Amino acid sequence: MSLFSRRFAALLAAVFLMATVSTRAEDDKAAKDKSAAPAPAADSTTQGTIDAGGQHIAYTAVAGTLTVGATDVQDAQLGLDGKPLAGSQLALDEPKEPKDAAPVARMFYVAYFKKDAKAEDRPITFLYNGGPGSSTVWLHMGSLGPKHVVTMGDTHLPAAPYKMVDNPYSLLDTSDLVFIDMPGTGFGRLLGKDTDKSFWGIDGDANAFARFIVRFVTKYNRWNSPKFIFGESYGTTRSAVLADLLENRHDMDLNGVILLSQIFNFTTDIDMPDANPGVDLPYEMGLPTYAATAWYHKKLTTQPAALEPFLAEVEQFAMGPYAHALALGTDLSAEEKQQTAEKLHEYTGLPVAYWIKANLRVNGGEFEKTLQDDANLTTGRLDTRYSGPHLDPLSQSAEYDPQSSAISSAYVSLFNDYVRRDLKYGEGQTYMPEIYGEAHWDFKHHGNDIGVNVANDLAEAMKINPRLRVMVNGGYYDLATPFFTAQYEDKHLRIPQSLAKNIEYDWYEAGHMVYVSDDCLKQLHDRVAAFIKSADSAR
C-alpha cells in the first residue's frame, strides 16, 4: 500500500507520533556482530517485453543498489560503487571497524529501460512509497510497472498461490521507470554509525533520495532526460522536500511532480485531530470521504444516484455550515447543534445521537468502527470499501485496517518470487517490505518540530522553477489521506495565482492505492501518461 507505509496497517497517528522503524537487519553473521560490512550483491540485468499503451515494448530491467552518504560532502567522496574514492578524506579517515565508519545507506532499486530509446527523448520517472518506513513493493507490483498483482474487489484475498500478470497499463509506453526503496528497506542496508539519525527523518530521508537520483542519472547517463518524481502517501511528503532539494541544492530542474494520496500538513490528520484541539479543519476535510464511504456501503437514508454530485454538495456543507458550527465552539446553540447533527447523519449515516455525543467531531478511527457497527464490521482505512470483523466490539475506534490485511500478503509474496525468479536478484537475502520497531522517525523539518507541513517546500520549488508541473491524484475512499484535504493543501500553496494553472487534480472511485482496481489503474495510467507528455512537450 503506501501511505503510510504503503500498507499502513497501523494508524497514521502511530506513524505521525511514533513512526517507529526497525533497521539494520544484516544478512549474515559478520554483519550482525558488526565485525564486517557485507559486500553489496552485484547488479542483475535481465530482459523482458510488455504490451502496454498499444505498443509492444522490449525493455531492460536492472535490480541493484546505490550507496549514498549522509552529507553532500561525504557523498561526493563515494564512488558509484559505494566505496570511498582513493585519496579522499573519507578514505584516509576510514576506521578499522565498519561499525565506526561514516554512515551510508545502500538503497535498493529496480529500473526498467525501454530498449533503443535516446536518453534526451525518453522521460524517466522515479517512484517510491511512504510510511515513513515502507519499501516500494506496493507501487512496484500494483501500479505502473510491467507486472501487476491481481486483486478481487473489496474482499480479503485467499491465501497463496496468488496471481501476477503482465500489466497492460504499465507506464513503460511513456517513460522509463525506477522504483526506489527508502533507506533500510527492501534489499537495502544501513551501514556505519548513527545511521538512524542520519537517514530516518524528514530531512535525512529526502536528502538520501536526492543523492540517489543524482547518482542514478550519473551512472546511467540520464542527466539530459526529462525527469519526473512520483510519490505515494508519505512519499508525497518526501516529494515536496525532494523537489525543493533537487531544484535548489542540486541544480536539477524537474519536468513534473506526481503526487498520489497526498499529505503535506500533518496537523490536518483525520486519525488524531483531537490531539490538536481548536483546529477543526481535519473534520471538515474528512467529511466528504465519510460521505463517499456511506454512499458506497448504502448507509444513507436517501441514496443519491451518483457519487460526484453528492460529494460536491457535501463539500459545500463542510466548508460552510459545518465549518461555521465547529468554529462557534461552546457558543454553538443547542438548536444549531441539533440541526448540524441531523445534516451530518444525512451525509454519513452515523446516528444523530452519536454526532451529538461526539460534539459534532468524529475522527477517522471512530468512523471506521461505527459505520457498520450494526453488522459487527470494521470499515477500512486505506480503502473504506473494504470491511472486516471487529477485533473488539466494545472498542471506541478501529483497531486494524481490513484493506491492508486483505492484500498485503499477495504483494509481498509475489514480489519475493518475482525479484528472484525473473529479476535474478536477492538470492540468500531477506527483503524487508517495511521496517517498524526500533527507532523514532525525526519529524523535525529545517529544525522546526512544531507541526509538520512541507507545503512551503513544493511552493518554493514551483517558484524557483515556474515551469514545474504538479499532478495531484487521490481516491474518494481514502481515509488515510482524504482527497479533499489534498485539494485544500494545494489550493493554499504560497504561490502566485499565475502558477496555480501548473497544478492538475485527478480523483478516482478508489482508495489510497487507486491501482488495486483495474478500471482505476487504467485511468491512472492514461492520466499520468498524458501529464508526462504534456509536461515534456512544454520544454
Task: Convert the pLDDT of each residue in 384-410 to its tens digit.
Answer: 999 999 999 999 999 999 988 889 999
Q: Compute the chain's Rg from CA coordinates.
A: 23
Residue partners of 425: CB distance under 8 A and separation at least 6: 41, 43, 44, 63, 64, 187, 419
Angle at alpha carbon of residue 52, lines to 47 and 56, rounded to 5°? 55
Summarised one tens digit per residue, pLDDT across range 99-134 is 778 899 999 999 999 999 999 999 999 999 999 999
**Residue 146: what are its φ and ψ, rounded to 5°?**
-75, -10
Does residue 21 carry a pLDDT above 50? no
The CA distance from 288 to 55, in Å, is 39
pLDDT-based confidence at residue 438 (cuts at 50, 70, 90): low
Q: What percentage of the chain exceeds 70 in pLDDT?
A: 91
> Which helix (H) or strand (E) covers residue 59, if one does?
strand 55-69
Burial 420-435 (b: 16+ CB within 10 A, else e): beebebbeebebbbbb
Q: Which three cell numbers stand for residue 226?
A: 526529462
Summarised one tens digit per residue, pLDDT across range 133-184 is 999 999 999 999 999 999 987 888 888 899 999 999 999 999 999 999 999 9
- Give residue 157's pLDDT: 84
Q: What percentage of the chain exceeds 90 in pLDDT?
A: 79
End-to-end Cα, the chain, rounded Å: 33
The CA distance from 454 to 210, in Å, is 16
- Give residue 37's pLDDT: 57
- Residue that the C-alpha cell 478516482 belongs to: 508
The CA distance from 324 to 301, in Å, is 24
Does residue 436 carry a pLDDT above 90? no
| Count of Cβ atoms closer than 10 Å to residue 504 Cβ | 16
| Count of Cβ atoms closer than 10 Å to residue 236 Cβ | 30
Instruction: Average the pLDDT over 15-33 and give the result.
Output: 38
Return the closest-CA partner of residue 524 out of 142, 156, 245, 221. 142
* Ranges of each domain in the chain: 12-267+408-537, 270-403
In the chain, count H helices and then E strands.
18, 16
- Residue that the C-alpha cell 497514521 belongs to: 12
Return the closest-CA partner of residue 348 out of 392, 386, 296. 296
Strands 44-52 and 55-69: antiparallel
Q: Tell me, letter by letter, the H, E, C secondary structure of 435-492.
A: CCCCEECECCECCECCCCECHHHHHHHHHHCCCCEEEEEEECCCCCCCHHHHHHHHHC
Q: Which three cell numbers stand for residue 258?
A: 506526481
The CA distance from 386 to 406, in Å, is 8
Distances in Å between the Cα of 534 and the Cα atoms of 15, 246, 287, 504, 523 are 35, 21, 33, 12, 16
The CA distance from 468 to 525, in Å, is 20
Residue partners of 497: CB distance under 8 A and separation at least 6: none
- Give residue 538's pLDDT: 62
**Residue 384: what are its φ and ψ, rounded to 5°?**
-75, 0
Which of 27-31, 72-76, 443-447, 509-513 shows the highest mean pLDDT?
A: 509-513
Does residue 519 carry a pLDDT above 70? yes
Q: Which amino acid is at 249?
A: R
Question: Between 87 and 453, whose confidence is greater?
Answer: 453
The CA distance from 509 to 519, in Å, is 9
Would you say 385 and 296 are in contact if contact means Cβ atoms under 8 Å apart? yes
The CA distance from 260 to 305, in Å, is 27
- Per the prediction, the chain carries an average pLDDT of 90
Would you say 45 and 62 are in contact if contact means Cβ atoms under 8 Å apart? yes
Would you say 49 and 60 are in contact if contact means Cβ atoms under 8 Å apart? no
pLDDT-based confidence at residue 278 (cuts at 50, 70, 90): very high
pTM: 0.92
Classified as helix, coil or strand, 18 is: coil
Q: How far is CA 199 from the centre of its chain?
A: 17
Find residue 473's DSSP bridge partners.
260, 506
Summarised one tens digit per residue, pLDDT across range 237-253 is 999 999 999 999 999 99
CATH assignment of 12-267+408-537, given 1.10.3720.10, 3.75.10.10, 3.40.50.1820, 3.30.390.30? 3.40.50.1820
- Residue that the C-alpha cell 448540524 belongs to: 340
The CA distance from 460 to 466, in Å, is 10
- Give residue 539's pLDDT: 56
- Residue that the C-alpha cell 507541513 belongs to: 453
Q: Which three cell numbers stand for residue 163?
A: 496471481
The CA distance from 298 to 191, in Å, is 52
Q: What does the DSSP 8-state code read for residue 320?
A: I
- Give residue 285's pLDDT: 98
- Give residue 30's pLDDT: 36
